[in-house]
Structure 1
């Protein structure tokens, strides 16, 4: 059971920042109707409600205010014009602020932070809802993020955050959370400024070299649709579970692929991990009696940080979306066969080699994404959310490293997996899934069995 303790608005320090308007690029506009990204960070930290309310909450508020000074678009709103002749922008004006909810829960903290299958509905008490937008003259003003801090008395704390995807990709949002954690832990921004210095976020859209007019093309299509608040996928009718691929598992998977495909390059931890999960998931469908035509195509779709991959490279501290995407497709009967995993790894590795690591091809694919969206409608696909590159387990607010990360936004009509570094397995990876209970049980069995044998 959860009890609401307080709802407040947190703004950057008064008098230290001025108005800012940041246009959306085509990389942002493509996500403007996408559901919010929802994540939860759980921390083991035994404290009383009194200490939480009197000490921790004020410290979190102060550190959040200081952090927002450097991340003004987060403090502001999306301005979504009703007239398509005008373009959307992120706008901060003095007085704008972020919604912060403070709550207390009596739920079983140890159950929530486990890896075993848990009822997916349990996690939504800790997910903040982005406040609804307001209609003003010829536009809608929409908050871009919401935050929630929940105390489990004597056991731990959960920080939940929901953000519009068009605000920024994982690189940007994780950077914000790590900055907030650093300021909270250190009691000020001096350490952040010392560590990051010139690496503080930049919002200059001119650093991306994309074809003239492509923003207009994207907006002329996406702006035709009304901006509708996203609802929660509730009840989920699913369970959530976490699976660990240890360094030894990953090495064995790599060795297996290279034994079968010795000339294959790009056989990375990402390639073998996503391919293995993909093949196990599709096999789990067959295991529970799902009837699928053998010739139907199965897709794996994953986003990639394009900052260092396009020409000229975009600074790593660019705040916004700068994503390309990878895609692999295999016929169902081939993916569920004895060589399904190796075939999947080959398809993913070849896409990375030929497109992801080819700046011209990656940019061309990104430019054509709008016209290719129809590919993703009605397909049988698995999406990948997150990346080992962006480590939220290092978000230490002064209570130690994150105990458990849950990417709640992988709930939805289509299946997705979350992917990040493993907290407790050096060199390992952590995969989160949200599936119907019977499907999860079948997946867990296939996943474990596959790691114990030599043929996947």
Structure 2
């Protein structure tokens, strides 16, 4: 992790759920075939910045106690978050998530130095990527005792950082195995509700807010779980650790509703046969093709016939047969993948080509129940093969909005998905400022970012 000299650690503690309800007994959740591809995926980091001027005394005496208490109360309903992944060693057993009474979530409390400007960090302009690593804590190392048949792997950490007289930042770092974006956002919003209202009464009044852990709702008639587990045991895809300095900057780009419609009208005029023109399709195609064009302008040499891949996850809860309930807590996403060439993507019609490829993948595969899981047995091998290729992805979704995650300090000023620094992805969420707009996060070397920013802006003018 990058240097945290820009913050001072005030406290490290662990927060456990009260020993009541389901959290009073040991609980085991088996993994499903939806979880398996994420076993060795890098952790997911999210930062929520809040402009909430307060003194250090008020932070210590009021905000911090409620932050800890509300987490404990929330974990009563989301107990697996406090548990661990138990990864089998030298056995035919499957991995599982296990919670034992007394398990807890590591929480770090920090204070930002005066050198850190909250207004600058929450802006859209290029900011040094390394600077954001002071606001979340690393997952603790895994544990393996000599007599154990399992490696015990922690699932999540939380950090709250005070910007004196300016605001706070809440950082989350979680293993992807604990749940997809739908699940983690559900947990964060539940925590916000408890923190804001002082109890879990509001949470209990809304059945939609409570998680469902029943793994039997995930149908697996073709034995995908066993098939994917065998693949993972034969070769293990490991995420490479980041090397600092990253030599990247983070920038935020906005497509307002009118921008998206302008791009949609352009596609309809040029390619009237393309019918799937959602905001997601338009936006990701615009960014993907823009990045391909920025390669040459930033001095990056890429052969014309070099394959370019775009991968994206799609919530599968309504797309499986039978459907999985919306409240299901865990992973339940399908994988979309499209392929182009560098020459096609960076060419004058690169945006149109990208729109057609992504739109067809969604319309003909992701939105058809009979096709949604057709290639699920090859997910691991496919993405393992592409790790060294020009693979671009997307993190987050406008469907899972964290800009209404209010701990009692108002809505976040900025959401920063830090994980995109290492995996060649863009982030995507609803715009906080513009109704119907989308917010795009990109992390690139400075020279390429400058080229991409110019292409992004000029493309909308044309």
Per-residue CA distance 1:78-122 (angstroms, 9 max, x = gap): 111112311111011111000000000021111110100011000
Q: In 1, are the aligned partners of 2:228 and 2:377 still within 8 Å (CA)? A: no
Q: In 2, are the aligned partners of 1:132 and 1:229 still within 8 Å (CA)? A: no
Q: In 2, are the aligned partners of 1:324 and 1:365 still within 8 Å (CA)? A: no
Instruction: Pick one of 156, 179, 182 that aligns with 2:193.
Output: 182
Structure 2: gaps of 5 or more residues: 1-5
Q: Mapping of 1:61-72 within 5 angstroms? A: 61-72=68-79
Instruction: Pick one of 416, 425, 429 that aligns with 2:438.
Output: 429
- Asked if 1:120 corresponds to 2:159, the answer is no
Instruction: Go from structure 1 to structure 2 and tell me whether the alpha carbon gap of 1:374 and 1:226 turns closer, same or farther (over 3 Å shift).
Output: closer
Question: Deviation of residue 220 (structure 1)?
Answer: 2.4
Corresponding residue of 1:248? 258
Corresponding residue of 1:110? 119
Question: Deviation of residue 217 (structure 1)?
Answer: 2.1
Corresponding residue of 1:42? 49
- Asked if 1:270 corresponds to 2:280, the answer is yes
Instruction: Pick one of 55, 62, 69 that aligns with 1:55.
Output: 62
Secondary structure of the structure 1 residue equivalent to 2:158: strand
Q: In 1, are the aligned partners of 2:227 and 2:377 still within 8 Å (CA)? A: no
Question: Deviation of residue 225 (structure 1)?
Answer: 6.1
Corresponding residue of 2:3? none
Corresponding residue of 1:7? 12
Per-residue CA distance 1:1-24 (angstroms, 9 max, x = gap): 211000111000124422110011
Within 2, Cα distance between the matches of 1:351 and 1:224? 29
Per-residue CA distance 1:260-307 (angstroms, 9 max, x = gap): 111221101000000000111110001112222212221111110011
CA RMSD of aligned residues (A): 1.5
Question: Deviation of residue 377 (structure 1)?
Answer: 3.0
Question: Deviation of residue 226 (structure 1)?
Answer: 7.4
Q: In 2, are the aligned partners of 1:10 and 1:97 still within 8 Å (CA)? A: yes
Instruction: Pick one of 370, 375, 383 that aligns with 1:373.
Output: 383
Secondary structure of the structure 1 residue equivalent to 2:170: strand
Within 1, Cα distance between the matches of 2:143 and 2:212? 28
Count matched residues: 451
Within 2, Cα distance between the matches of 1:198 and 1:185? 18
Question: Deviation of residue 224 (structure 1)?
Answer: 5.1
Secondary structure of the structure 1 residue equivalent to 2:123: coil
User: Please, what TM-score do these two structures have when normalized by structure 1?
Assistant: 0.96
Instruction: Go from structure 1 to structure 2 and tell me whether the alpha carbon gap of 1:441 and 1:147 turns closer, same or farther (over 3 Å shift).
Output: same
- Asked if 1:97 corresponds to 2:107, the answer is no
Question: Deviation of residue 232 (structure 1)?
Answer: 4.2
Secondary structure of the structure 2 residue equivalent to 1:79: strand
Instruction: Pick one of 28, 34, 39 that aligns with 1:27.
Output: 34
Q: In 1, are the aligned partners of 2:107 and 2:158 still within 8 Å (CA)? A: yes
Secondary structure of the structure 1 residue equivalent to 2:64: helix
Per-residue CA distance 1:191-248 (angstroms, 9 max, x = gap): 1111x22551111111011234321222223245679897444321100000000111
Secondary structure of the structure 2 residue equivalent to 1:140: strand
Q: In 1, are the aligned partners of 2:294 and 2:452 still within 8 Å (CA)? A: yes
Q: In 1, are the aligned partners of 2:45 and 2:172 still within 8 Å (CA)? A: yes
Corresponding residue of 2:396? 386
Q: In 1, are the aligned partners of 2:12 and 2:109 still within 8 Å (CA)? A: yes
Within 1, Cα distance between the matches of 2:385 and 2:426? 20
Within 2, Cα distance between the matches of 1:140 and 1:30? 18
Question: Deviation of residue 346 (structure 1)?
Answer: 0.8
Instruction: Pick one of 190, 208, 228 that aligns with 1:218.
Output: 228
- Asked if 1:417 corresponds to 2:426, the answer is yes
Within 2, Cα distance between the matches of 1:92 and 1:223? 24
Structure 1: gaps of 5 or more residues: none
Corresponding residue of 1:362? 372
Q: In 1, are the aligned partners of 2:91 and 2:149 still within 8 Å (CA)? A: no
Within 2, Cα distance between the matches of 1:328 and 1:220? 26
Instruction: Go from structure 1 to structure 2 and tell me whether the alpha carbon gap of 1:91 and 1:409 turns closer, same or farther (over 3 Å shift).
Output: same
Within 2, Cα distance between the matches of 1:8 and 1:394? 27
Within 1, Cα distance between the matches of 2:223 and 2:344? 42
Within 2, Cα distance between the matches of 1:299 and 1:90? 32
Within 1, Cα distance between the matches of 2:395 and 2:376? 18
Question: Deviation of residue 343 (structure 1)?
Answer: 1.2
Corresponding residue of 1:170? 181
Q: Mapping of 1:277-426 within 5 angstroms? A: 277-412=287-422, 414-426=423-435
